[in-house]
Amino acid sequence: MVDDSRRDYDALIRPIESQMIRSVWRITRNREDAEEAFQDALLAIWKAWRHIRRHPNPRALVLRICINCAHETLRQRARRSRREELGGIPETLADPSLSPSQQASDQEQHEEVMRAIGTLPRNQGQAILMKVVQELPYSDIAAALNCRESTARKHVARARAKLRTLLAHLFPSKAEEVASL
């Protein structure tokens, strides 16, 4: 029994351990949230372990669970900040390689992008994160979301469309682009 379980773990989880950690961190970028989301993810994986072992794409499913839990943390954060209107944004860790002004802008952008993703419907949010953060192909996203590949594409496309609207102000205008040349 232990040997079987070890083999399962080594086959399914070990090769993607770093990817799991990175996924959760890149979305939460906050130690407390990352730890909470990761714990939730591991609990969900443990509960669904039998199902994961039988799943046609177990690694995609595990990564989806990680994304799901991190995304859920984002959604909670988005709701919290909506409720509190101000001061509800958790402190994030800045990238030390950037200058203070870059750090501030980097943090702001991260917060804003993640908050926008946090407002997306669950499947769309997960799909866009799997696509961009985990760089999974549509076939894996579809397997993880248990839907057709075309549906997975639709989730991503709709997420992009909504994000285009929500984050329009972060895109440089044509005039700014020309000026920067």
Partner 1 sequence: MKHEENDLGIDRMIEQSTTSEVPPDVEASLRTQLADFRTRIEQSRPGRIESIVAGIRQSLGQYRNGIIGLAGAAAVVAVAVLFLNPGGSGEVYAAAAHRLQQARTLSYSIVLNSNPYVAVDFTHQAPGFQRLKCSWGMEIRADAVAGKTLILFHYSKQYIFGTEAEAKQLVRSADEAFEQFRSLPERADEELGEKSEDGKTFVGFRVRDNDGITDIWVDRASGQPDHVDITILASGKQVHQMKIDNIRLGEQVEIDGMDLEPPTDYNLVSETADQSGPARGGEQQLPPIVARIRTDPEKTVIVLGMSGPHEQHLEAIARVEAELKRLGVKPLGEPFGQYYNAASDPLPIWEVGFPVPAGVTAQAPFEVRHIPETLVAEADIVGPWGGDSSRRWGAFLRSVLEQGYAPAGPAQESWLGAEGTGAEQRTQMKVAVTKAQ
- How far apart, in whole angstroms, are the C-alpha atoms of residue 35 and residue 12? 21
**Secondary structure of 32-93 in the HEC alphabet?**
HHHHHHHHHHHHHHHHCHHHHHHCCCHHHHHHHHHHHHHHHHHHHHHHHHHHHCCCCCCCCC
Q: Does 9 bind partner 1 (CB under 8 A)?
A: yes
Residues 87-126 that bind partner 1 (CB under 8 A): 93, 95, 106, 109-110, 112-114, 117, 122
Q: Is 31 in the site for partner 1 (CB under 8 A)?
A: yes
The reply to whether 171 sits near partner 1 by the rule CB under 8 A is yes
Residues in region 45-84 near partner 1 by CB under 8 A: 45-51, 54, 72, 76, 79-80, 83
| Secondary structure in 3-state letters for 108-164 | HHHHHHHHHHHCCCHHHHHHHHHHHCCCCCHHHHHHHHCCCHHHHHHHHHHHHHHHH
Q: Is residue 27 a contact residue for partner 1 (CB under 8 A)?
A: yes
Please report, as ranges, the residues that interact with partner 1 according to CB under 8 A. 1-2, 5-6, 8-9, 13, 17, 20-22, 24-27, 29, 31, 34-35, 38-40, 42, 44-51, 54, 72, 76, 79-80, 83, 93, 95, 106, 109-110, 112-114, 117, 122, 128-129, 131-133, 146, 160, 163-164, 167, 170-171
